[in-house]
Amino acid sequence: MENSCYNPISLAGKKFFISGAASGIGRATCILLSKLGADLILADINQKGLEETVSLCKPTDVTVVMDFSQSGVIKEHLSSLVSVFGKLSGCVHIAGKPYISPLKSINSATALEVFQINTMTALELSKVFASRNISVDEGGTIVFISSVYALVGSAANVGYSMSKSALHGITKALSIELAPRKIRVNCIAPGFVKTKMGDSISHFFTEGHDEKIREMHPLGLGEPEDVANAIAFLLSDMSKWITGSIISVDGGFTAK
């Protein structure tokens, strides 16, 4: 008898594009997908971070520096990359930027930049991926990362919330539009995860804020790997009957 375990979450032989691969959830995702056998194109604005991540993946994985605040970058790079790397089975848009600002200090230019990175890039990536030149003939899977703040309100967060809740609209609409192509579209809404993103906005908050945030999560704060696990599931055939779903991975934050 063959001595190999049944592994329905194996991603061997599959190729994926991962944005936001230089840090946090993106890095943890790349490492996990790599362990599950996938081949990856890792994209981010942070070249040094990308190099660190790829050193923890497969030597054959490819990195590409892209600035998602510029529209059109995915189209510009992906066709030529895929012609060498091979067609993709899926893509995940993890890159993102927070924007803490109460309504009265909302700056349109900043809000639009955040929207471009968090939301429009997800749409542009989907558009490129859905092309038969880019994705495998059997279809594929697209995963977005939103936030608990796309589901529940939070003061001083409207710029970020609108960028993330728009991902839910994109998920629903594209899941219907792309179902005939056998492309599944899903979104994960994480609670607070310990990454650089939290550090980058810590100056907005007073002492005791961390404790308050922790209390909002019945299971405590998340690790990047907690979100990566859900991404791997949505990329694998284990989720082949799931599309148009917004999956909360939030330690119980939205259960309250």
Ligand X SMILES: NC(=O)c1ccc[n+]([C@@H]2O[C@H](COP(=O)([O-])OP(=O)(O)OC[C@H]3O[C@@H](n4cnc5c(N)ncnc54)[C@H](O)[C@@H]3O)[C@@H](O)[C@H]2O)c1
For residue 140, the partner it binds in other proteins, ligand X, none, with Cβ less than 5 to 8 A by kind, is: none
Q: Give yes or no for a contact between 89 and 69, defined as CB atoms under 8 angstroms apart.
A: no
For residue 203, the partner it binds in other proteins, ligand X, none, with Cβ less than 5 to 8 A by kind, is: other proteins
Residues between 48 and 77 with contacts to ligand X, criterion CB under 6 A: 49, 66-69
97 scored as a contact of ligand X (CB under 6 A): yes
| Helix ranges restricted to H, the chain | 24-35, 47-54, 73-85, 108-115, 121-129, 158-178, 196-200, 209-215, 224-235
For residue 97, the partner it binds in ligand X, other proteins, none, with Cβ less than 5 to 8 A by kind, is: ligand X
Taking CB under 8 A as the criterion, the residue among 46, 110, 229, 245 binding other proteins is: 110
How far apart, in Å, do the first and last CA atoms of the chain sit?
49
Q: Give yes or no for a contact between 245 and 186, defined as CB atoms under 8 angstroms apart.
A: yes
Phi, psi of 28 (to 5 degrees): -60, -35
Pick the catalytic residue from 6, 99, 149, 160: 160
156 scored as a contact of other proteins (CB under 8 A): yes
Distance from C-alpha of 35 to C-alpha of 99, rounded to nearest angstrom: 33
Cβ closer to ligand X: 137 or 194?
194
Q: Residue 6 catalytic?
A: no
10 scored as a contact of other proteins (CB under 8 A): no
Place of tokens 């994109």: 170
Active site (catalytic) residues: 160
Residues in touch with ligand X (CB under 6 A): 20, 22-26, 44-46, 49, 66-69, 94-97, 117, 145, 147, 190, 192-193, 195-198
